[in-house]
Amino acid sequence: MRYISTRGQAPELDFAGVLLAGLAVDGGLYMPREWPRFSPADLRALRGLPYPELAARVIAPFVGDSVSFAELQAACHKAYAGFASKAVTPLVQVDTNLYALELFHGPTLAFKDLALQLVGHLFELVLAKRGEKVRIVGATSGDTGSAAIEAVANRENIDITILHPFGKTSEVQRRQMTSVAAGNVLNVAVDGTFDDCQDLVKAMFADGEFRAEMNLSAVNSINFARIAGQIPYYVYAALNLGAPEREVAVSVPTGNFGNILAAWAAKQMGLPIARFIVGSNRNDILARFLAANDMSVQGVAPSLSPSMDIQVSSNFERLLFEFLGRDAALTAQTMTGFRQSGKMAVADEAWRAITRDFKGYRLSDDDTLKEIKRFWAESEYLADPHSVIALAAGRDLGPIGMPVIVAGTAHPAKFPDAIEQAVGIRPPLPHHLSDLYERQERFTRAPNDLTAIETLVRNFANRNK
């Protein structure tokens, strides 16, 4: 398997190269040169497999020769061995044709664990073969940071620096990052928004001299390995609901667009997904785009669902690349114009093609609380402020008579204030996190300034010299 950049000016890489590079040197995102295809018979052969085994078989075509299948199998089994649910990603019926795919049974109680626990093992495999050390830099709106840190903490050949927006994550999300006592972890609280943190990460990768000096790598969903690690749970869920003989729809609370892009990738591989429902909070740029071709940046407004408090969804570039006929020059031109003007000019034909598959949905904070209360009262299902948006979206926009797979992206205990406000219950943290509020925090506050951030990363890298 070879990978190409969405902007067409970076060298093709194999999976190992993409894993370690993260962002392409031309500022684009890596995509498979061609999508692997699973026939209906191939999909049926996956039914009933334990999740780690299914994941290895789904991901194998993307890995190619970079890692042997036996190594990939072993990595998948290690990655998911510690999940609280034996099913790894249990599917729970919430209403008629509405199913919550619970993706929060990993160590940090968020869907990011599904990909990042595996990516941590793959990094270790590839780096050991190459005899290299990398310095991961990443930005988080709440969940990626803790999942990435959990995946690579104390690994000898990896340092990790995570940027989070100061004061704009939930307390549980912040503490899960900042209370990890590992010598290879640096947490930085940036005075700004998640978009600012994401821009700083991209700027570090765009600084060729700094990138080479630090041997930078990424764990954000700009790294295609993350997308590959998320595809299996959609295959698992759809097979359990009758695929490939039966079509399904997917509803996802969407921030950086990586989770729903993984579902779309599953469709390219042969999974019969008829509709993709994009759930948004008050930061509704994606819903506005899908409703009226209005991809215009507005200010980020804090919400009850902070992981979705995003205006620039990085992974949308991958979808745009596909719907522009894989025209890398046009993709680069469109993204450059978006960055300069704050408004994305998408040709009407491409927009209409996207909206045939994708539907947008927006929920305010007040309505989010009402929906948490409603699903609890009617189905005794307690959903966090992100997952409940996708549940409401799936209920309201799901095709009639078709099962809707709803991505349950976080455990309700990660957002206890919102849950308590909605239903009067403060969900307890699982046992392994029961002392989280007593743990010592470690983070450095920094301005939204590239030079300051690069200095922190460099000093951390050289801390033992």
Domain ranges within the chain, ordered by starting residue: 91-109+224-423
Dihedral (CA of 277, 282, 287, 291) sign = positive
CATH topology of domain 91-109+224-423: Rossmann fold (3.40.50)
Q: How many CB atoms lie within 10 A of CB 435?
A: 10
Cite the active site residues.
Answer: 112
Q: What are the E-state strand segments in 208-367?
A: 216-217, 248-253, 273-280, 295-296, 343-344, 358-362
335, 337, 343, 345: CA torsion to nearest 10: -80
The identity of residue 186, as a single letter, is: L
Identify the pLDDT of residue 103. Answer: 98
CB 360 within 8 A of CB 280: yes
Omega before 244 within 30 of 0, i.e. cis: yes
Task: Give the bridge partners for 217, in sequence order.
Answer: 136
In 3D space, the residue among 141, 132, 164, 138 whose CA is nearest the CA of residue 151 turns out to be 138
Question: What does the pLDDT look like over 233-257, one tens digit per residue?
Answer: 999 999 999 999 999 999 999 999 9
What is d(CA 132, CA 149) in angstroms, rounded to the nearest whole number? 19
Identify the pLDDT of residue 464. Answer: 79
What is d(CA 283, CA 290) in angstroms, rounded to the nearest whole number? 14
Identify the pLDDT of residue 239. Answer: 98
Question: What does the pLDDT look like over 122-157, one tens digit per residue?
Answer: 999 999 999 999 999 999 987 889 999 999 999 989
What is d(CA 169, CA 303) in angstroms, rounded to the nearest whole number? 10
Q: 86: which 2 tokens?
A: 């034996």
Burial class (CB in 10 A: 0-12, 13-18, 19+), 313: buried
Identify the pLDDT of residue 220. Answer: 81
* Regions in the chain scoring below 50 on pLDDT: none
